[in-house]
Structure 1
Amino acid sequence: MAHESPATAAPPPGTAEVPSAPPPSGPVTALRLAVAAAGALPAVVLRLAGIHPAPVPAMLLFGLGVLSAALLLMWAAETARADISGPLALALLAFIAVLPEYAVDLWFAYTAGTRPEYAAYAAANMTGANRLLVGIGWPLVALAGYFAARRRGAAPGITLREHRRIDTAFLGAAALVAFVMPATRQISWALSVVLIAWYAYYLFRISRCSETDEEELLGVPARLALLPARRRQAVTVLVFVAAAAVVFACAEPFATSLVDAGSSLGIDRFLLVQWLAPLASEAPELIVAVVFAWRLRGDDGLGALLSSKVNQWSLLIGCLPLAHLLGGGPASLPLVERQVDEVLLTAAQTVLAVVLLLDLRFQPWKAGLLFVLFVAQFALPGESARLVLSGVYLGLAVPLLAVRLRELPPTVRALAGRIAGDPH
């Protein structure tokens, strides 16, 4: 049999489709990988040399390292989809893509074991990442999908496939359980066990779904997917290991510099940790999701962000008390007044987001609603604004749920039973 070149070989088994647009050439792919690696290099050199720059330069350099590592992780995760199929793969790879978020957040929780003031930053980073994902990420995907649909004369709005009910159902249940945190003013070890077990059950449940995510690979992953299987897998593992090492090397100095830079710049340190760190760690994933929506693959883009939201709102929260315990603190992570309000607001936003997705349709008005409410938190003055917004989120969720009650039975069945079209 004649040897096939990578450019003409049959696509490897898995979830990835052959890209409709030509992937970048080999040299271009190598250049993009090199540029991403170069972005992480200064942070790695500083870390290995034990050099501690001033807070603001350190924040920028280590933040660039986290951003570069997050981009490499995203490329590795997307390439791996050429060899791993099914919704379970999407859930696992969504987890890989947000490892930078975990590293920074868990470091704050770990440090809070001996320095209790750092507990506030663990809550800040967690709530900021979750609200950014829904308030900015989901609307960006919808916006890209809207303009793509107009360009091609298609109907606006994103329609999710039936198996997304699993993600929606698990996220909704986790959102309801999350109200225990502001009610008890802590993230307890008992809640930690429940949420980690819930995420494990989510992986089990989604692994039994027979639907596949035939996602078209883009850019660097599209090129890497054309490599022979063993070489592709070796490159994927190498990129993942290198990026993960950068993430864990940069997590501590980046987190510390964020706190110190707040003091140097006269900016509220809580806000800096809450919004800047998640922007760095979430940016590559958001970009990929938006590109999918631009190519009229809104289900794939929004589905990836939905899966990320599930793991952050269950596994990430569940791991925080464990990191706190390992750092020398008690088994529960305490929440002070501001953190209580932040967690309450994040849980309320999640409830509304789940209600909006019950019918598996994400129209432009839904995206606009989530975006406007997200931006409103920066316009409303005073500490009471978070409580007011929490009430607005929940107040809107009630009537919207009332007109979607028929969507509840199939969504609840997705937790333990079958979904439509699934033979299992």
Structure 2
Amino acid sequence: MSAPSTNSLRRLVIPLGVVVLIALPGIILRLLGADISPLLGMLAFGAAIVAAAFALAWAGEAAEVDISGGLTVGLLAIIAILPEYAVDLYFAFTAGSDPSQAAYAAANMTGSNRLLLGFGWPVILLVSYLAYRAAQKRNATLDIDIESRPFAIRLPGDGRVELGLLLIASTLTLIIPLTGQIHVFLGVILLLIFTYYLYRVSQGETEEPDLVGVARSIGTLETRSRRATILLIFILSAAVILLLAESFATSLVEGGQALGIDDFLLVQWLAPLASEAPEFVIAIIFALRGKSAMAIGMLLASKVNQWTALVGSLPIAHLVGGGGWALPMDARQVEEFVLTAAQTVLGISILLTLRFSGRWAAGLFVLFAVTFIVTGQEARYAVSALYAVIALVLCVRHRRHLWPTVSAPFRFPARKVTDPPEGVNVHR
């Protein structure tokens, strides 16, 4: 087994060193508990979180050498949404002793969910298209998961695992708006679905990784060194994200309050914008590198995480915090949940054919933007109905894909390991 070259080590150490230098100011300010302005907080803490996200992207790509791509995407999605877990579970926990905080827990959860699908998916499609056009201009081949006419991202067949579990979870969570609460019993079921999801994606095929840049430098390390490096990056990046998530969100909220923005809207949109930043950055990096399907796959995995583990954890955090066996939701929160659930079902129906095209990206973004214009309860329920009607039409149109999607999580493919590219070690 050949040792990595000096140039290869340099290409690894220098980028990681730059990441550390960018992250250090935010980490130091947080550990010192310095009293800083919201603007400085947004810049320092935000830069550190983005730097950690870059490191996660590199380690996540390199991890494909040792574990299945599906599990890599799932683990990356979990780590990337740690800030959201920290903020949401904090609100749910404090709601146990202060019921007024329950509204913020629901607001943060629904806001982050809709932001992920209504903004995140279309942005990845746009970035993928721009990267594709740039590759065309320099006569380069970008990737194999793009269809140029009409432009669309093509997901692999195992993408139905996430879609199927998301559809099952969405059906179960219909009980939430009907009862006006999230019960601990439902939470346990959703957490079990999430646990099964991690097990299921771990059984996928280990395919040949196509590594470039820093990820390739990690992949060419000796087996033990590579695994130790990946694990260390995962742990340190997750620690940075968790350490700074609340401070970044607080800086955003305080900045918004100074501008006179409503607290509920701050928690629903500005805080999720901060907490979703790592996964957006990682997904955009993948899209720029020609891994568009992996980018959408990561956001889809994040959606599964949010709709199972996050929603399922809220009532448990509420109970641990001194509350009852259910996290209550008022009329406004029920309305938000209905809108979020309807958007989720539409997202699933769009991907039934495993293709995500520009027109559907535009449609998701327009419907997402409309909810900022029509703020009345009746109007927002009308948008929810529109989501549902379009989803129903798509499900009828693509009904032959419904059963393969629902059954996909319970079909286990034969494991297949292919040879790695030259210079990448996979000795186990």
> Per the shorter chain, which TM-score range?
0.7 to 0.9
The residue number in structure 2 matching 1:352 is 346
The SS at the match of 1:6 is coil
Identify which of 297, 303, 307 aligns with 1:303: 297
Q: Give CA-to-partner distance per residue, 1:108-148, whole Å, 9 cap, x none.
A: 22222233322222222222222122112211222233345
| 1:200 and 2:178 matched | no
The residue number in structure 1 matching 2:320 is 326
Letter in 2 for 1:248: L
Q: Give CA-to-partner distance per residue, 1:274-313, whole Å, 9 cap, x none.
A: 2233333333433343343445432222122211211111
CA distance in 1, matches of 2:57, 2:110: 22
Matched positions, count: 404
Give yes or no for contact 1:189–1:332 (8 Å, CA) kept in 2: yes
Letter in 2 for 1:104: V
Instruction: Give the 5 Å matches for 1:24-423.
Output: 26-27=9-10, 29-53=12-36, 57-58=40-41, 60-149=43-132, 151=136, 154-155=148-149, 156-209=151-204, 211-212=205-206, 214-417=208-411
User: Could you tell me how far 1:46 is from its partner in structure 2?
Assistant: 3.3
Note closer, same or farther for the CA distance 1:50–1:88 as it changes in structure 2 (3 Å cut): closer
Letter in 1 for 2:292: G
Q: Give the TM-score normalised by the residue count of structure 2.
A: 0.84
User: Could you tell me how far 1:345 is from its partner in structure 2?
Assistant: 1.0
Segments of 5+ residues of structure 2 without an aligned counterpart are 142-146, 417-428
The residue number in structure 2 matching 1:19 is none
The residue number in structure 1 matching 2:424 is none
The residue number in structure 2 matching 1:4 is 2
Note closer, same or farther for the CA distance 1:295–1:246 as it changes in structure 2 (3 Å cut): closer
Give the alignment's Cα RMSD to 1 decimal.
2.9
Note closer, same or farther for the CA distance 1:248–1:289 as it changes in structure 2 (3 Å cut): closer
Q: Give CA-to-partner distance per residue, 1:298-349, whole Å, 9 cap, x none.
A: 2222122211211111111111122222222223222222222111111100
The SS at the match of 1:83 is coil
The residue number in structure 2 matching 1:13 is none
Letter in 2 for 1:162: G
Letter in 2 for 1:354: I
Letter in 1 for 2:172: V
Note closer, same or farther for the CA distance 1:91–1:244 as it changes in structure 2 (3 Å cut): closer
Q: Give CA-to-partner distance per residue, 1:31-54, whole Å, 9 cap, x none.
A: 443343344333433333333445
Give yes or no for contact 1:174–1:195 (8 Å, CA) kept in 2: yes
Note closer, same or farther for the CA distance 1:191–1:52 as it changes in structure 2 (3 Å cut): farther
The residue number in structure 2 matching 1:14 is none
The SS at the match of 1:84 is coil
User: Could you tell me how far 1:56 is from its partner in structure 2?
Assistant: 5.6
- Mean CA deviation greater in 320-329 or 304-313: 320-329
CA distance in 2, matches of 1:319, 1:6: 43
Q: Give CA-to-partner distance per residue, 1:360-398, whole Å, 9 cap, x none.
A: 121221212111111211222434442221111001111
User: Could you tell me how far 1:411 is from its partner in structure 2?
Assistant: 1.4
Give yes or no for contact 2:56–2:234 (8 Å, CA) kept in 1: yes
CA distance in 2, matches of 1:82, 1:239: 16
Note closer, same or farther for the CA distance 1:300–1:240 as it changes in structure 2 (3 Å cut): closer
Give yes or no for contact 1:125–1:278 (8 Å, CA) kept in 2: yes
Segments of 5+ residues of structure 1 without an aligned counterpart are 9-23
